[in-house]
Amino acid sequence: MISREEYLRKEYERRINKAIDFVYQNFQEDFALTDLADIAAFSRFHFHRLFLAFTGETPGEFVKRIRLTNAAAMLRNNPDKSVTDVALCCGFSNSCIFARQFKEFFTVSPKIWRKQDSNHGQKIGRASCRERV
């Protein structure tokens, strides 16, 4: 028999992972962070605290990272697609915001990224809170 604390931890982890799965499946869509709290069935403030505790990043940082890493892969794998098209496909409202956030995250512009052979050690892939706990 598991303790109440262990049961709650597993239940919270399950609900946080449900929100994480939603982000991976819908990163290109426009959604509010309150939608993630609703998916996890937490108040937005409680969700924010729990998400940070389980993953080590805020929900906003997580969504931005997923969008940027998917955009980075798309830039490399689709050389005929414009930077603006990649930005819009990955859920950014415009290419200026995308370019600024991309450069902050990867330290190079999207165009330079596309031309480089390495990805500066950035891991592009799926993570869940189970991997971070």
Spell out the SS3 assignment of 41-76.
CCCHHHHHHHHHHHHCCCHHHHHHHHHHHHHHHHHH
pLDDT number for residue 117: 56
pLDDT tens for residues 47-62?
A: 999 999 999 999 999 9
Task: Check pLDDT > 50 for residue 14.
Answer: yes
Contacts of 48 (CB under 8 A, 6+ apart): 33, 37, 58, 59
Task: Check pLDDT > 60 for residue 10.
Answer: yes
More confident of the two residues 125 and 84: 84
Indicate the range of 31-35, 52-56, 120-124 predicted with least confidence: 120-124
Average pLDDT (16-27) is 97
Average pLDDT (34-44) is 96
Q: Do residues 37 and 11 make contact, with C-beta atoms less than 8 angstroms apart? A: no
Average pLDDT (106-116) is 93
How far is Cα 22 from Cα 17, in angstroms, rounded to an integer? 8
What is the helix (H) or strand (E) element at residue 80, kind and residue range?
none
pTM of the model: 0.83
Average pLDDT (32-50) is 96
pLDDT band at 22 (very low <50, low <70, confident <90, very high): very high
How far is Cα 71 from Cα 119, in angstroms, rounded to an integer? 12
Q: Do residues 54 and 129 make contact, with C-beta atoms less than 8 angstroms apart? A: yes
How many helical (H) and strand (E) elements, i.e. helices and strands, does the chain have?
Answer: 8, 0
